Chain A
């Protein structure tokens, strides 16, 4: 996996103050994407253990409410293993920080039998995050007044509540 950039003290991509990690590589390739350079799986810097340590170290600061992973596409099969590794580590070492993930796929694609589902990986990611922002960016549904997302088809999903209720619960 490659990382395009990491924004410190981000207040745009999720509630509170966030450390936002942009992973590289995306096959969704939405029209009017804001981050086209990240479609390339080799954009940016290779994800290393040293980088993961730096992320954890930064996120540890009390100013951060949590981590946001976006891209690119965190749920491309090439990216999922290391996304899972990062998320598991944050959960274990920094249990007070919440985790948001942005995807161009739908929540349903990430369920058992869904087109992005990787057994033992996707389910671990989903079970360890707090919020999933899902759906492609659709330019005709673009709305600047929306919270934390670009077009009205995209959803802010409360993951723990959705798992508990067995259906999508919005934030």
Chain B
């Protein structure tokens, strides 16, 4: 019997009836044609008759070809056309389905690992399942969720939608976790209620737990914005705890109780901190202790004069040890706890360095010591968290300033461990953001009725804690705005570079909060300031692929390429805006039950249950990023922005981004911002697509990656100071995040003064966020670190881990964890050894 070979390889017996039906269907689906059913059936029968069924096997395509030929030959070309169109559509759909299946197959078996995200282990079970799922989600996002505009801008390498796989579920990007309130109030999880932290050890354990929990509510990173300040209350609680324990030891009460069991019987509390019954005994005696001594909890802080010197010194010693242990514990936790189905570590960042109160200094010191020491047996460089030292004038920039010693320690850590990076707390835009808040607050207060003013004055005088919520004080019977920058407002950043600027929607919250409290009601929401970083993050980003626009401009109007490009850029900035609003609306349409932890515990600020998800999301940023400014300029004018001519055009381009985002922010009342995109996998995938379309163009597409955002190309042979100079000219235009990197030789480990020079220079040039790359290879046999060749120079082992930085973070072995584009970029990174041109001397 004759068998038909189908495309998927199956063989089925030939079925004449199917041929007849398919032919009839083709007639029915051809518009504007009249036909006689019987005639068509007899034509179809004759087609079927013409096929040689005596052959053993026939391909399904051969039969279809025969049908098309017969239709044409019998005077029905339009039906033949309709039949072959139908066939083409089927083919496309089938291939689309099978290429998706092929991709899913590759992900499930980890047969084509591309390291899209250097932090995801694509080989692990969790990673394989997750990546396969992500392929499906991307497909679904493009075809079922996004508008045609967003879809084709993405596919055509014009405006890239980041984290496409999270588009369908409508998750948001990242968040600065409000540790102050979460630790102070405790929080709920699906399984447990966690009590407020009562010691530095517990607090730091909870930091890791909270990072973990929040990272599951979103797709991006989590940060702590001022960890040194946040830990003050818990260091004080530890000091009190140790003081009371030592006091009780002197009471000799323990002589006649089973103290041995109490010390030996340990258990883990809900934060995972090991406690023993003796600790509980101390807690139980707290009230007696207060009664006996007349002391109160407020008497416990470093430097307190009210305490017994001897007991205080012992307690301080115990507290310092506990703080250092707590810091080490946090490094350990953040490098071991897996997240998102076990395939990655949460992207965590911690900012610190500006607190001059002794407890805050102690915390910063412990964090830096932990970083320098490294984790584990071989003291390996901690990959998480991304440490960020907050440089602030008058606090830690110059010799003689209170935290200058901690800044020097930070430099030492950077030389050895790449972290911390440095965020600039004195950049003009940071001052503008705080000013935006205070100006609006002053206006709100001025416009209050006299009755409300009087009520506020009365309430603030009675309850001092209102000052911290309203940022209002009473001076000489008048309401005044507190001008001082709060710890939650201090410049901080996500490790990658994302920052939270002035929140246009905070003004509404602040007004309602002030009015509600004046009227004796509960506050409207928990937003404190328009310049606060805590409880806010980026909601979603898009990135404009500048080189594609430049090529399109060049091809469509070669005589006036720059104007053509600027028109196109403006057009796609508007598209980017539309795409962001589209995604933002989709995110806001989600049920708060999708991120229960975040909403129930007010981790994202501004959430008002009756108003839904939008009430919180509106305080986050939505940002327009960019990729490949250097290559774009090369296409347009044949040089990049290391040339003054290139810089002039670069500024024109950035000005357009800035103006449009400012406009959008006002018009749509959403926090639009200009973002200098990290582009980890995008630098590589966008270049591949670009090459497919335009081929290899010198200085544009002759490498494996596009240059990040507005960076100077990594292979450019310029000295580090000049690189800082150039990039500093473009930092005034962004509002949602930028980073500048410098590549140094491994000998920088010994040269803290050189690193100091670079950091100071970058800060003075208003670089908002600065990171130094020092090759960090670690011999996994003996622990020697530096830039190692094939084998370790100390012990000869070839078992070497090579850490490099990508998108602000450092990640495991770059030769296996980075995508090919980023690997090539690391190889090309120029180490800034520049020679004087002696030929001219």
Contact = CB atoms under 8 A, between A and B. Distances in A.
Interface in A28-75: 44-45, 48, 50-51, 54-55, 58, 61, 63, 65
Nearest to B720: A9
Interface stretch (A12-20, A115-123, A162-170): A12-20
A11 B745 contact: yes
Given A12-B745, A15-B751, A16-B751, A63 B757 contact: yes
A144 B747 CA distance: 9
A8 interface: yes
A10 interface: yes
Contacts of A147: 750
Contacts of A132: none
B751 A51 contact: no
A7 interface: yes
B460 to A, nearest CB: 49
B751 A8 contact: no
A6 interface: yes
Contacts of B747: 11-12, 148
A11 B751 contact: yes
A12 to B, nearest CB: 4
Interface string B823-841: 0000000001111101111
A117 to B, nearest CB: 30
Contacts of B838: 3, 5-6, 44-45, 51
Given A17-B757, A63-B721, A8 B750 contact: no
A144 B761 CA distance: 29
Interface residues on A, range: 20 to 34
Given A7-B833, A9-B834, A16 B721 contact: no
A35 B836 CA distance: 18
A8 B757 contact: no
Nearest to B750: A147
Contact of B836 (A16, A48, A58, A148): A58
Nearest to A14: B751
A10 B833 CA distance: 7
B841 A48 contact: yes
Interface in B725-756: 744-745, 747-748, 750-751, 753-754, 756
Interface residues of B, number: 28
A35 B833 CA distance: 16
A142 to B, nearest CB: 8
B832 A144 contact: no
B839 A45 contact: yes
A16 B753 CA distance: 4
A65 B753 CA distance: 9
B318 interface: no
Contacts of A58: 836
Contacts of B753: 15-17, 65
A9 B721 contact: yes
B719 interface: yes
A51 B756 CA distance: 29
A131 B613 CA distance: 64
A50 B841 contact: yes
A63 B755 CA distance: 11
Contacts of B719: 8-9
Contact of B834 (A7, A63, A145): A7
Nearest to B754: A11
B793 interface: yes
Interface string B123-152: 000000000000000000000000000000
Contacts of B750: 147-148
Contacts of B761: 63
Interface string B742-776: 00110110110110111001000000000000000
B835 A6 contact: yes
Contacts of B721: 9, 61, 63
A145 B753 CA distance: 18
B832 A9 contact: yes
Given A48-B841, A63-B721, A8 B835 contact: yes
B547 interface: no
Given A11-B744, A12-B747, A63-B761, A6 B794 contact: no
A171 to B, nearest CB: 12
A54 B836 CA distance: 9
B786 interface: yes
Given A9-B720, A16-B751, A45 B757 contact: no
Interface in B540-570: none
B493 to A, nearest CB: 25
Contacts of A65: 753-754, 757
A50 B757 CA distance: 28
A8 B834 contact: yes
Contacts of B833: 7, 10
Contacts of A145: 784, 794
A144 B836 contact: no
Interface in A79-96: none
A21 to B, nearest CB: 9
A16 B757 contact: yes
A144 B841 contact: no
B400 to A, nearest CB: 19
Contacts of A148: 747, 750
A87 to B, nearest CB: 18
Contact of B841 (A10, A16, A45, A61): A45
A144 B834 contact: no
Interface string A114-140: 000000000000000000000000000
Given A54-B841, A65-B753, A8 B793 contact: no
A45 B836 CA distance: 12
Nearest to A4: B838
A145 B142 CA distance: 53
Interface string A146-170: 0110000000000000000000000
Nearest to B835: A5
Contacts of A16: 751, 753-754, 756-757
Contacts of A63: 721, 757, 761
Contacts of B841: 45, 48, 50-51, 54
Contacts of A61: 721
Contacts of A15: 751, 753-754
A158 to B, nearest CB: 16
Interface string B781-804: 000101000000110000000000
A145 B786 CA distance: 9
Most chain A beta-carbon contacts within 10 A, residue among B721, B756, B786, B840: B721
A145 B793 CA distance: 10
B754 A17 contact: yes
Nearest to B719: A9
B835 A7 contact: yes
Contacts of B794: 144-145
A4 B758 CA distance: 27
Interface string B429-464: 000000000000000000000000000000000000
Interface of B: 719-721, 744-745, 747-748, 750-751, 753-754, 756-758, 761, 784, 786, 793-794, 832-836, 838-841
Smallest CB-CB A-B distances: 5 pairs: A51-B841, A11-B754, A16-B753, A6-B836, A147-B750
20 contacts: A5-B836, A7-B835, A10-B833, A11-B747, A11-B751, A11-B754, A12-B751, A15-B753, A15-B754, A16-B757, A17-B757, A17-B758, A45-B838, A45-B841, A51-B841, A61-B721, A65-B754, A65-B757, A144-B784, A144-B793
Given A5-B836, A55-B836, A65-B754, 10 more contacts: A5-B838, A6-B836, A7-B835, A8-B835, A8-B836, A9-B721, A45-B841, A51-B841, A63-B757, A145-B794
